[in-house]
Amino acid sequence: MMTPLRVLIVDDDPALLQALPKALRLRMGGVTVETADSAAAALDRITTGDYDAIVTDIKMPGMDGLALLTEIRKHRPDTPTLIITGHGEDELMVRALRGGAYDFIQKPIDRDYFVAALYRAIRAHVLNRRAKDRQTALQCCADELERILDQLERKLRVQVGEERAMGQGGVLIVDDDPALLQALPEALRLRMPEVTVETADSAAAALERVAARDYDAIVTDIKMPGMDGLALLAEIRTRWPDTPTLMITGHGEHELVLHALRGGAFDFVQKPIDRDYFAGSLRRAIQVRELSRRAKREQWRLERHLNELEIVVEERAHRLRETKELIERPLSLLMGSTGQMEKVVRQIKQVADSPLTVLVEGETGTGKEVVARAIHQLSARRDKPFIAVDCGAIPDTLIESELFGHEKGAFTGAHQRKEGQFQVAGGGTLFLDEVVNLPLPTQAKLLRALQERQVQPLGSKRPVPVEVRFIAASNVPLEREVRASRFRQDLYYRLNEFVITLPPLRERDDVLQLANSFLAEASTELDRPCGKITAAAAEVLLRYHWPGNVRELRNVIRRASLLASGVIEPEHFSLLSIDPSPPVTARQAEPASAGSSLRELADAAAADAEGHAIRLALQATGGNKSEAARLLRTDYKTLHLKMKEYRINAAQFRERVSASSPA
């Protein structure tokens, strides 16, 4: 399961703040859209949370969009910002782009272009974040390598000192003149007492000595019987290329000197030999040899350490790939299940490659969309689009346009032709979530589209053929809605060619298995070293009734992994209310009073859940409304209005804390 995308929309127009989030939820599955009605409110959200993209109007009272863009660039420079501009505002548009805006969207807003631009912005943000993470990792490696090099340098200094003390290295002088073999070592001992000097009276004898030990420098006459100095130089360069060699030449032997230098000689010394110049040149040669030796050792050690780091990085990358594949694999949250969920997995595999229409039933949060995506991924349509439509989030007046499309001018505000979700999902899978919320007239058109495999866009006189796999989902039994005359019977029979019923989490036996899967996911995503749920914490998970089902469990584990440091304890589940009272879902399942509509029941259940969550948060924070708002991930004003609406008094929670405190 991938991290939900977070988008913030900033505008002072209430209609736009309502329309744009709905458009994004329809076209961008899994996106979390938040809104702010002013730049000041947006800054409050930006300072406390990170967004994948921000969309703001350019003209707003108080702080306008350009000033907000400047603040965003200060506080969140990597967050792409899209600017909404009016027609003809070219100068403002140019200023926005120069100020760092990622793109601009002109009114009236083309929803498809808007979504495409937002996708590009989010992708750029993700790639930029990956690049920064990689840069940070490389910087850490560089710092570690620098530390290692410092250690190596200290060790090498010690090692070189030890080698010098043990008489390692030294100088070899090669000449066929016995007088020179006696005079030169004496001159070096006077001027370089720390150097060990050895001699050889021929090139053959020199090669034997060089093969037996490593010298800091070699000095050889250029003219010798048998193998001369140039031939010896060639052998040394071939077999010991790092050993510097000085050539002794006679007066006027310029051509031989050139041959020697081209052959790799370090320097040459002319006869009669200037002892001081000879010692100075030899000292420089030995220093170069020492530096070369040190550089080679450091390079070798560095390469060895880099190889070790590459192995570590590859192992970590392999673990991350395995975790990502496990998270994104179809049925990953269902594998290993037993009982009812084992039956669900078997049904998904059976129906995946068939043409049957599938109806998925289950409470909110049980994973109906997960099942739909698994069916799509396991089918031959996996390379085609998977389009999810939340029927409960679209106004009744727009649902037909969303599903079937419309022509330009079909109704007020239809400024251009638009394809419906049936056409967008061509060749793939169309998933209608909460299909029970469709108005009865739309149900009739949906039935016709399913039967005839064609749709008629609004304002069009010609039907358009479509070829999609259809999956529907409902959080209430459709058969009950049919009996209550709220859902068409013929459409119900068309949808239930194959029915998959998801049990609520409180009836499943894989709560801990799911919790551990979510924990592994959160640990990787949040980079938290949290790998264990204690037995006491597991007991809390098993006793809780989970009114929000799998979705609630995932959010609880993510929050706990952020709060915990290594091990999750019961206190990290402080928002969970464990009491003997009947679960919320059980109360909702009681027979409804006559005349109550499904929407009224849903509103009542939502209000009950909100009030319950607010009371739990206030209880956990001892009546501190600011802290409670933070736990509920909302702002203080919204919490205050909700408490007023549900008649919740924070003082009673502070009194409980005072009463329970020791005197």
Q: What is the pLDDT of residues 578-602, one digit of tens each?
A: 654 444 333 333 444 445 566 667 6
324 pLDDT band (50/70/90 cuts)? low
Give yes or no for a contact between 473 and 372, defined as CB atoms under 8 angstroms apart. yes
Q: Distance between CA 577 and CA 589 in Å, rounded? A: 20
pLDDT of residue 158: 60
Q: Tens of pLDDT along 329-370?
A: 555 555 555 567 888 888 998 998 898 999 999 988 888 998
Give the global pTM.
Answer: 0.44
Burial state string for 479-508 with b = 16 or more CB within 10 A and e = fewer than 16 = eebbeeebbbeebbebbbebebebbbbbeb
Q: Tens of pLDDT along 337-346?
A: 556 788 888 8
Cα–Cα distances (Å) from 311 to 140, 303, 316, 324, 539, in that order, read 16, 12, 9, 20, 40
- In this structure, of 50-64, 234-248, 633-647, the range with the lowest mean pLDDT score is 633-647
User: Mean per-residue pLDDT for 154-183?
Assistant: 71
pLDDT of residue 159: 57
Q: Which of 344, 594, 372, 575 is nearest to 484 (CA)?
A: 594
User: Mean per-residue pLDDT for 291-300?
Assistant: 80
Q: Distance between CA 645 and CA 64 in Å, rounded? A: 32
SS3 call for 341? helix
Percent of the chain with pLDDT over 70: 86
pLDDT of residue 531: 67
Q: Is the pLDDT of residue 473 over 90?
A: yes
Q: Tens of pLDDT along 441-462?
A: 999 999 999 999 999 899 888 8
pLDDT of residue 2: 47
DSSP state of 507: G
Q: Is the pLDDT of residue 249 over 80?
A: yes
Q: Tens of pLDDT along 122-158?
A: 888 887 777 777 777 777 777 777 777 777 666 666 6
> Using a CB cutoff of 8 Å and minimum separation of 24, what contacts does 399-404 make?
399/438, 399/439, 399/442, 400/442, 400/445, 400/458, 401/458, 402/26, 403/442, 403/445, 403/446, 403/449, 403/455, 404/445, 404/449, 404/455, 404/456, 404/457, 404/458
Q: Distance between CA 576 and CA 509 in Å, rounded? A: 19
pLDDT of residue 321: 64
Q: Is the pLDDT of residue 469 over 90?
A: yes
Give yes or no for a contact between 257 and 184, defined as CB atoms under 8 angstroms apart. no
pLDDT of residue 429: 94
